[in-house]
Chain A
Amino acid sequence: MNRASRSADAVAVAGGGALLGSAFAHWVRRGPGHSLRGHELVDAIVGLGDTLPGLTGARLTVLWYLVPASGALTWIVIALTGAASRTARVFAVVTVVVTAATVAAFVRMTSVSSLGAGAWLALGGAALVAIATFALARESSDA
C-alpha cells in the first residue's frame, strides 16, 4: 500500500466525515429554520407539510438522510475496498448526485445566500470523496 493510496483513503474518509457531520450542522444560516440543526430542520419541514414541486415530504426526508448515510457508507467502502476500487468510484458518483440534489432542494426553499454550514459541509464532503476516488486513487494506481 503506497503513500498515494493512503492519501486517497484518508481524503475519502475525511469526505465521509464531512457528510456525516452535516447532519448535525445548520443547513440554513438565516431565516426560518436557522436555529435547527440538520435532521431537526428536515424533520420540522416535513412535519409541517412543506413540499416543493415534485418533491414530497417523504422524498425530501429520504434525500436528505441519504447525505449522512453516504458518509457512513463511504467509511465502510473505503475500509473494505479502498479508494481506488471501482466500487468506491461508483459510490462517489452516487454521493455527489444525492448531495447536489439535496442542496439544490434547500436552495429552492431558501436561497444560496441563506445556506448554512451543513449544506457547504455536505458539498465539500462529496467533493472530497470524488477527488479521492477519481484523482488521488488514479495517481496511486499509476505509480
Chain B
Amino acid sequence: MSELREQLERLAARGAPGRGADAVVAAAIDAADRGDAWVDQPTRGARSMDDDLEPIDLEDVVVGRPARRGRKPFRALAAAGLAALVGVGVLAVSALTGGGASSAEEAVRKLADAIDAEDPLAAADVLAPSEVRSLRSTLDEASRRAAELELVETASSPLAGIDLSVDDLELDGESLADGFTRVYLRGAIRGSTDVTDFSELVQRAIDDPSGSSDAVDLRDLSPAGIDPFVVAVREDGRWYVSAAYTVLEYIREANDAGPADYGSAVASAAELGAESPEAAARAMVDALAAEDWTRAFSLLPPDEIPVYDYRSVFAELLADTETDFGVDEWSATAAIDGDEALLTVHGSGRFGDGERWELTDECLRMTYTYEGYVDEEFPEYSQDPYTDTTGICLSGSGAFPYSFFFDATGDDSGSVTVRAVRQDGRWFLSPVGTTLDKLDQWVGNFDERSLYTMLDLPEELDAEGTVTVGEPISAEANAAWLMYTYQFAGTEGQRIVGQFATEQSRSETFGSYGDVRIVHADGRTFDEGWSIDGYPVTLPETGEYLIVVQTFAPGPYTLTIWDEADAPAGVVVYGSDAGTIDENGNYCYQPAPGEEVCELVAADPGGGTTVTSIAVPDE
C-alpha cells in the first residue's frame, strides 16, 4: 500500500494533468473527419510520455473489494444461496399448516415410524391435534415427576430401555367419507426391554433382570376378529391419526352397525351443546334420565369425542338400555375462564327399586338397600336389613389404580368437578378435560409413598415406627392402598399374629379392612408372610422385619402384634391353631386347653357365604 501511495503522490506532483482519454478520442474523431491519419500528440503543457514515472502494476493492488466478483463461481454461489433461501421459505410456509401428513396412509406410516423410534413427540405430531393438545401438559408433568422420583433416568427419555419396532408394515386405505379414511394394517409389532437402561429404582422392582422380547402380529391385537385398522382424519388440509374415531369405528364394525354421519358434530357445533356450562350439566343428566342418547351425545365436544357422528349407531345399540333413574336434587356452579369452565356439581336421586345415587366427593355413589330375610329353620342365619354403598370415583391421589377409580381418598368436598369447554359459542361437557384435571392432580400428588406402593418396594419407605409385641399402634392412612411400614425385631422360630382393624369410612366398596403382611427388612418375602392379620406366622430367621399395612379405605387404623401364645381369644382366626367352622356354620375355637367356644359368624355385608370377618368377643 505504501508503494502505491508514493506513486500516486508523484503523479499528483506532476502539476498539470495529462491528456485525458476523452481528449484523445475527440482528436481522433477530428482527424477522421478531415481524412487525416491520426497520431496522438501531447497537449500543450503536458509532460511527455517519457517522464520518470514508473508504471503502476495494479495486479497486486487490493482495493477493498475483490476484483473478480463477477466471475462464474461467485455468480453460481449467489444463485445457490438464492435457491436455498427460497427453499427455506417454502419450509417455513409449510410450518404454518402444522404437523400431520399429506395423506392418510402417510400419517399412519409416520406414526409407525414414531413408534419404531420410541419418539412420543413424533407420534403426537401425527395424532389429531384436538385429541392430543390437552394431553401434552399432563405428559410433560408426568415425565418431570417420574424423573424427580427416579422412576426414569431423565425426563427427556421416559422410554429408555424400551425398544419397539414395527415390522413389514403394509397399509391399505379405504375412504369412509370426505376427510375420513380407514387405513388397514398388516405387519407386526416387536417389543423388547433392556433392563439395564431402566432407572435403578425400577431395576430393583423387576424380578427378572434379563429383560424380555416379544412380537405380536397386528391381526392378533385387533378385537372381534376385525382386520386391524386405524382411522385417519383430515384437519386443515393435513391428515392425522384419530384415536377417537378409531375406537368408535371398531365399535361400529364389531356391532355390524350402519355408517356414521362423519363430520356432522363439528359441522353443526353451533347448534349442539348448551347455552351455559350449568345448562350443559343439567341437560346431560336430564338426557340420561330420559334415555335421550342423541341429546346426551350432543353435549360432548365435537372435536374431542365425536360420538355425535355415531348417534344412530349408539341409538341402535342402546335401544334396550334403561337408565331408570330420577333426579331429586341438583346444583351446578361454573367458574368460567375464557373458553373453559370448571363446574362444581352436586346431585342425588333415585334409581331402580328405591336405590339412591349421589354425585358427591368426586364420586358417583350408589346405595343399595337389602331387605334382609328370616330363616325359620336356622334363625341364626337370618339377616337384618342393611345398606351397601359402592362408588366409582376419580380420585386425586394414592396408588393407581385403586385410589384413582374407587372411593379412596376421603374427599370431603361434597361435590364433583367437571370441566366444560366452549366451541362455536356453545358449551359442552368435556370427559377428557375432566379426567385430565384429575390425572394432573394425581400426578401432582404422586409421591414416594405412591411410587413405592406401585412398585411394591416397602423397604424404600421410611418406617412409621417400631412395633412392640402387645402394644397397639394407631395411625391414619391418607388414601387407600398406600403402604405404611413398621419395623419389627423378631427371632427365628417366633410365631406372631396380627390384629388389624380400621374405622369403616364412608366407602364400603371392598367390605373388609385391608391387608397386613410381614417381609424381611430388605424387602424379601417369605412364604408365610403374605398375611399376618389373624394368621400366625413363623419367622424364618432372627433379624429385622417390616410389617406392611395397606388399607382399602382412607382413615384411622389400629394394629397390634402378638406372640401367638399370648394372643387374646379371637385374634387367631386362621391357621392350624385357629378355630374351625362346624357343620352349622358356627366358628369354634379353643381359648384355653379343654375349652371350646362357638360363636355366630357375622355375615359379609357385601353378600356371599365366605367368612371374612369375625365378631371378636369382648375382653
Give A contacts to B, CB under 8 Å: 1-2, 5, 13, 16, 20, 23, 30-36, 39-50, 61, 65, 68-69, 71-76, 78-82, 85, 110-111, 114, 140-141, 143
Asked if A79 and B74 sit within 8 Å, CB to CB, the answer is: yes
Asked if B65 and A82 sit within 8 Å, CB to CB, the answer is: yes
Residue of A nearest to B73 (CB): A79
Asked if A43 and B99 sit within 8 Å, CB to CB, the answer is: yes
Asked if B99 and A47 sit within 8 Å, CB to CB, the answer is: yes
Q: Which residues of B contact A68 (CB under 8 A)?
A: 84, 88, 91
Asked if B84 and A1 sit within 8 Å, CB to CB, the answer is: no
Type the 1/0 row for B115-140, where 1 means its CB is closer than 8 Å to any CB of A.
00101111011000100110010000
Type the 1/0 row for B82-116, where 1 means its CB is closer than 8 Å to any CB of A.
10110111011011001110000000000001100
**In chain B between 65 and 85, which residues have their CB closer than 8 angstroms to a CB of chain A?**
65-69, 74-75, 77-78, 80-82, 84-85
Q: Which residues of B contact A33 (CB under 8 A)?
A: 119, 121-122
Beyond the given A1-B62, A79-B78, A114-B156, please list 17 additional residue pairs across the A-B interface where CB-CB is below 8 A.
A13-B77, A16-B81, A20-B88, A23-B88, A30-B156, A30-B160, A31-B156, A32-B122, A46-B95, A47-B99, A50-B136, A72-B82, A76-B81, A76-B85, A82-B65, A110-B156, A141-B62
CA distance A69 to B88 in the complex (A): 6
The reply on B323 being an interface residue by CB < 8 A is: no
Asked if A34 and B125 sit within 8 Å, CB to CB, the answer is: no
Interface of A is mostly: helix
Asked if B117 and A34 sit within 8 Å, CB to CB, the answer is: yes
With contacts A43-B99, A61-B92 taken as known, whether A75 is within 8 angstroms of B78 at the C-beta atoms is yes
CA distance A31 to B92 in the complex (A): 24
CA distance A10 to B435 in the complex (A): 58
CA distance A74 to B88 in the complex (A): 13
Nearest 8 Cβ contacts at the A-B interface: A75-B81, A31-B156, A35-B117, A79-B78, A32-B121, A72-B84, A44-B125, A76-B81
Q: Which of A61, A79, A110 contacts B75 (CB 8 A)?
A: A79
Size of the B side of the interface (Cβ < 8 Å), in residues, is: 43
Asked if B136 and A35 sit within 8 Å, CB to CB, the answer is: no
Asked if B133 and A49 sit within 8 Å, CB to CB, the answer is: yes
With contacts A48-B124, A69-B85 taken as known, whether A32 is within 8 angstroms of B156 at the C-beta atoms is yes
The reply on B294 being an interface residue by CB < 8 A is: no
Q: Which residues of B contact A1 (CB under 8 A)?
A: 62, 66-68
The reply on B154 being an interface residue by CB < 8 A is: yes
Q: In the complex, what's the smallest C-beta–C-beta distance from A41 to chain B, in angstroms?
A: 8
Q: In the complex, what's the smallest C-beta–C-beta distance from B126 to chain A, in angstroms?
A: 9
List 15 A-B residue pairs with CB atoms under 8 Å apart, sorted by A's residue number: A23-B91, A32-B122, A36-B125, A44-B125, A47-B100, A48-B133, A69-B85, A71-B84, A73-B81, A74-B81, A75-B84, A76-B81, A78-B77, A79-B78, A81-B65
Asked if A43 and B95 sit within 8 Å, CB to CB, the answer is: yes
With contacts A31-B154, A36-B119, A47-B125 taken as known, whether A65 is within 8 angstroms of B91 at the C-beta atoms is yes
